[in-house]
Chains A and B, each alone.
Chain A
Amino acid sequence: MARSFAVVTDSTADLPGEWRKRYGIEVVPLKVLFGHETFRDGVDMTSDEFFTRLAASTSLPTTSAPSPGEFAEVYRRLAKDHDGCISIHIGAKLSATVEAARVGAESVAGFKVNVIDSQTVSMPMAFLCSVAAECASLEEATAAVEKRVPSCRVLALLDTLRYLEMGGRLSRAQAMIGTMLDLKPLLLVSENAEIKPVDRVRTRTRAIQRMIEFVRGEQPLERLAVMHAQAGDEAESIAKTLRPEFAGLEVPIGQIGCVLGTHTGPKALGLGYIKK
C-alpha cells in the first residue's frame, strides 16, 4: 500500500460504493433500531431495504452511534499495517459518533488517530475522505481536511419535516414552517453543523428550482454532489442541470443511508458541496 495511514469514516458519509475501493476508505456503521432489532447501516441493511421497511413500519426507527469499543476494534485492526489514521465523522452536534471515536481512539495505545469532527454530514464527508486519501502523509491529510471543514455545506429538501422533528434534530418552528401547512423546508447544514432554514415553499417542483438557484449563488465550489433518498430520477435530473454549469466538477450522486434516512425520511434531496 502506497499510503502509510488509514482513512476512516462512518456510514453517514453516504460514501458511494466504489469510492471505498477507489480511495481505500474504512466505513464504521452507525446503527438503526426498529424496536429492539438493530441493523448496522449499510452492512445489515441497505438504503433501499431501509426505506421499504420504514414505509411498512408503524413506529419510527431510532438511530445510534457506534460504540467506542467498535471504533477501538477498527483502529486496532488498522494499526497492524498503518502508521496512523484519520477518522472523519458526522458533526458532533448531530450525533455522538465523533465522541465515541475519540473515546475509542484513546483506548488504542501507540496508534495515532486524528479524529475529525466534520461539522457536516453525507457527501461533504465523503469528499473530505477523498481529499485525505489523496494526501501523502497523515499530517498533510489532517491539515487539508481541517482547512475544508468550515467550507462544507449540505442543502437539503425534505419531503416532510416529520422525521427530523421526531428525531429531535429540528422543530417546525426552527424550520420556519409553522404548524399547520405542509410546507417544504429548504435547510442548510452550514458551519458547525448548524441547521438553518433558508427557504420554505409549497411545492416540490418549486423547491427543487430554489435549490438549484441557491447553489448557483454559492460559487465558486471545489466539490459538488447530489444526494437522494428514494428520489434517484430527480437527483439525476438535478445533476444533469448542474453539471454544465459547474464544469470541471464530477457532481456524483450519493444515496442517503439508513441512519441519515431515519432523520430525512423518504424522498429527501440534497446538494452537498465544499466552497472554495
Chain B
Amino acid sequence: MVAPAKATGVDGQIFKRALLGSLSWLAANHEEVNRLNVFPVPDGDTGTNMLLTLQSAVEDVKESNAAEVSKIAKLASHGSLMGARGNSGVILSQIFRGFARAVEGKSALTPAELAAAFEEAANAAYRAVNKPTEGTILTVAREAGRAAATAASTPDANVPRVIAAAAAGARSAVLKTPSQLQILRDAGVVDAGGFGLQLILEGMLKSVEESEPALAAMAETKRPVSPASQVSLDLPEGGWGYCTEFLIEGNGLDTDLIRGQIESLGNSVLVVGEPELVKVHVHTDDPTGVINLAGGYGKILKLNVGDMSTQHRRILESEGAAGKSRPPRPNGAGLAAVVAGRGLVEIFRGLGVDAIIEGGQTMNPSTQDMLTAIESVPYDEVILLPNNGNVIPAAKQVVGLTKKKVHVVDTHSVPQGVSAVVAFRPERSGLENLKAMKAEAERVQTIEVTHAVRDTRSNGVKVKKGDVIGLINDRLEFAGDDYPDVVKRALGRLGPDSYELVTVYRGEQASDDELARLESEIRSNYPRLEVEVQQGGQQHYPFILSVE
C-alpha cells in the first residue's frame, strides 16, 4: 500500500503520514501530559495546548497530496504557527518552523537529511526563546536531534532507525528533566512539554511501523516506566498514602519478581534497574511493609518516604507554604498562639503562626510552656496570643523571662485570636502589627456555647447543671435546652444587621445533625448573614461563633 520508507527516503506523503501518526498518539495520551502540569503553567494545560497546536498543523497538511517533503513541512509550519497555544505550543510551532526551513527545496530526505532537520528544528526552538531553560521541551528536542544524528551516521542507517533513535533520545531526555529543574524535582514529575514532544516522535515512529515493526516495538518496551505512571497526582481511593522510594543494592535482583510483590502493597509501582541495583517507587499505606519486603533482597539505600497528602498540599501551595520552608519575614517578628483542638491548630498554623502552645479553657498552659514555645520561634520578636481570658496572666509573665521581645495581644477567645492573626502583615513592624492586631481583635464578637457544669446564677441568668448556655464575649447571657435556640438568641442580642459574617467553629462533641440544625436556624432567622463552618475540634465548647 505505502512504499517502504527506507527505499525512497522521507517524501511528502511519508512525512504527512508521520504527522498523522504523531497526532493520533498525542491525542491518545495528552491527558497524561496534562496530569504533569502540577506547577503553574501559563495559559492552560500543556497536553491540550500541544494537541491543539499539532491539530492545527495537521489540518492544513491533511488535504495536501504534495509529493515534496518541503511542501508538507511548510504547511505544517504555517498551521502550527496559526494554532499555537501556550508556551509549549509556541515552541512546538518553532520546531516545525525550523524543520521546514531545513528541508526547504527538498523533495525527499535521506536519513542524514532527516537527522539534520531534527537538529535544526531544535536549534530554531532554542533561538525562539529569550532565556532557554534546560530540562524543558528544548532539551528534549536537542537530545532527540543528537540521537537522530548519531543513528544517521551509522553505515546501516535508514529512516525508521533515525526516527526510532530520535524517539529514544527524547525519552531518555524526558526522564532526566527532573534532575535539571528543581521545580520538577519538587513536584516529582517530568517535564510536560518534553513528554509531549516524546509522544509526537513516538507517534511518527508508529507510522513507519509497517516497514520496521521491530523498531516501533522498541519505543513501546519502556511504556510501563512511562513518566505519567510515576507521577499521577489523582487522588486514589482511601487517601494518598506515602510515596516511598529507595534503591536496593544486591546480587541477581529480579525486577519483575520484586515488582510483582510490591504491587500487592500499593499503587503507582515502579521497579527498574540492573541486577545489582534496583530503583523502587511506590505509593503505599504501608511503607514499613514495603521496606521490610525489599530488605529481604539486599541493602536499602536512599530511602525516602513522603506523606503524599502533605506533598500534594505542598505542590498546590508551592514553596514556602508551611513551617520551616516559609520565607523569612521582613519584619523579623514571629507569632505564637495558645490553641486547643486539631482543626483550630491547623487554622492558626495555616494563617502563619510559628509556634502553637496546646491549651485553653480547662488546660491552661504554664508560663514555661509558653516560654519554651517562644524560644522555638526563629525570630527575636514574638507576638503571643493567649486566646483565653484565663491564659492572659500567665502569658504576660513570659515577657520578662526571655531575651526576646515578647508582646501579648490580649485575645480572650479563639475568634479574637483568629482576627488578630489575620491582621498580621509580615512587612509591617512588630509594633505596628501589635496595634492593628489589637484593633482587629476588638472588632469581632464571640459567642461560645457549652453546657453548665453546675447549678448557678450568673449575670442575672439562672442555670441548672447540664443546661445549654450561651456566652457573649465571656459573659453568660442565655440558658436553654438546645444549641440552635441559644445561638439564635445570642445573635439577636448582638443585632445581626451590624454584621456580615458568622464563622462557626464546630467542637468535638457537636454532631453532624446538631451542626446542620444550627446552620439552618441561623440562615433562616438571619438570611443576610453569611455563614462559614470550620471544624475546630475544640473540647467542652460544642460551638464557638465569631461574628463580624
Contacts and interface: CB of A to CB of B under 8 A. Distances in A.
Interface of A: 31, 33, 62-65, 67-70, 72, 93-96, 99-100, 103, 107, 165, 168-169, 171-174, 176-183, 199-205
Looking at B85, B347, B425, which has the most chain A CB atoms within 10 Å of its CB? B85
A181 B87 contact: no
B503 interface: yes
B81 A205 contact: no
A173 B425 contact: no
Contacts of B313: 179
Contacts of B40: 168-169
Nearest to A169: B40
Looking at A62, A72, A94, A205, which has the most chain B CB atoms within 10 Å of its CB? A62
8 contacts: A62-B43, A64-B44, A64-B49, A103-B84, A174-B318, A180-B534, A181-B534, A203-B548
Contact of A181 (B48, B82, B351, B500): B351
B453 interface: no
Given A100-B90, A107-B81, A203-B548, A168 B534 contact: no
Contact of A69 (B84, B318, B321): B84
Contacts of B316: 165, 171
A200 B86 contact: no
Given A94-B42, A202-B422, 20 more contacts: A33-B48, A62-B43, A62-B44, A67-B83, A67-B93, A68-B81, A96-B86, A99-B87, A100-B90, A103-B81, A165-B316, A168-B39, A171-B318, A179-B350, A180-B347, A181-B350, A181-B418, A181-B534, A199-B425, A203-B548
Contacts of B48: 33, 62
B41 A168 contact: yes
Contact of A68 (B43, B44, B90, B418): B90
B534 A68 contact: no
Given A64-B49, A203-B548, A178 B83 contact: no
Contacts of A72: 81
Looking at B317, B530, B532, which has the most chain A CB atoms within 10 Å of its CB? B317
A181 B78 CA distance: 49
A103 B128 contact: yes
A182 B419 CA distance: 12
Contacts of A180: 343, 346-347, 350, 534
Contacts of B532: 181-182
Contacts of B501: 202-203
B86 A204 contact: no
B119 interface: no
Given A64-B49, A171-B316, A202-B419, A178 B350 contact: yes
B352 interface: yes
Contacts of A95: 42-43
B328 interface: no
Nearest to B34: A62
Given A33-B44, A171-B316, A173-B321, A178 B352 contact: yes
Contacts of A68: 81, 84, 90, 93
Nearest to B418: A181
Contact of A63 (B44, B90, B128): B44
A64 B82 CA distance: 13
Contacts of A169: 40
Contacts of A165: 316
A203 B81 contact: no
Contacts of A67: 56, 81-85, 89, 93
Contacts of B43: 62-65, 95-96
Given A96-B90, A99-B87, A172-B317, A201 B44 contact: no
A177 B39 CA distance: 19
B182 to A, nearest CB: 17
Interface of B: 37, 39-45, 48-49, 52, 56, 78, 81-87, 89-90, 93-94, 128, 313, 316-318, 320-322, 343, 346-347, 349-352, 418-419, 422, 425-426, 500-501, 503, 530, 532, 534, 548
Contacts of B419: 202
Contacts of A96: 42-43, 86-87, 90
Given A178-B352, A181-B418, A69 B39 contact: no
B224 to A, nearest CB: 29
Contacts of B86: 64-65, 96
Nearest to A181: B347
Nearest to B38: A168
Looking at B43, B48, B84, B313, which has the most chain A CB atoms within 10 Å of its CB? B43
B347 A69 contact: no
Contact of A201 (B37, B346, B422): B422
A183 B347 CA distance: 12
Contacts of B350: 178-181
A169 B40 CA distance: 6
A183 B321 contact: no
Given A173-B320, A181-B347, A205 B85 contact: no
A204 B418 CA distance: 17
Contact of A70 (B39, B82, B87, B89): B82
Looking at B40, B422, B426, B501, which has the most chain A CB atoms within 10 Å of its CB? B422
A171 B321 contact: yes
A36 B320 CA distance: 35
B144 to A, nearest CB: 22
A204 B530 CA distance: 11
A4 to B, nearest CB: 28
A176 B352 contact: yes
A26 B233 CA distance: 42
A201 B419 CA distance: 9
Nearest to A174: B318
Contacts of A172: 317
B160 to A, nearest CB: 32
Contacts of A203: 500-501, 530, 548
A69 B81 contact: yes
Given A100-B90, A180-B534, A69 B42 contact: no
Contacts of A62: 43-45, 48
B87 A205 contact: no
Contacts of B87: 96, 99
Nearest to B346: A180
Nearest to B534: A180
B58 to A, nearest CB: 15
Nearest to B353: A178
A49 to B, nearest CB: 20
Contacts of B503: 181, 202
A163 B440 CA distance: 28
A97 to B, nearest CB: 8
B84 A100 contact: yes
B317 A171 contact: yes
Contacts of A178: 347, 349-352
Contacts of A65: 42-43, 85-86
Looking at B78, B320, B501, which has the most chain A CB atoms within 10 Å of its CB? B501
Contacts of B128: 103
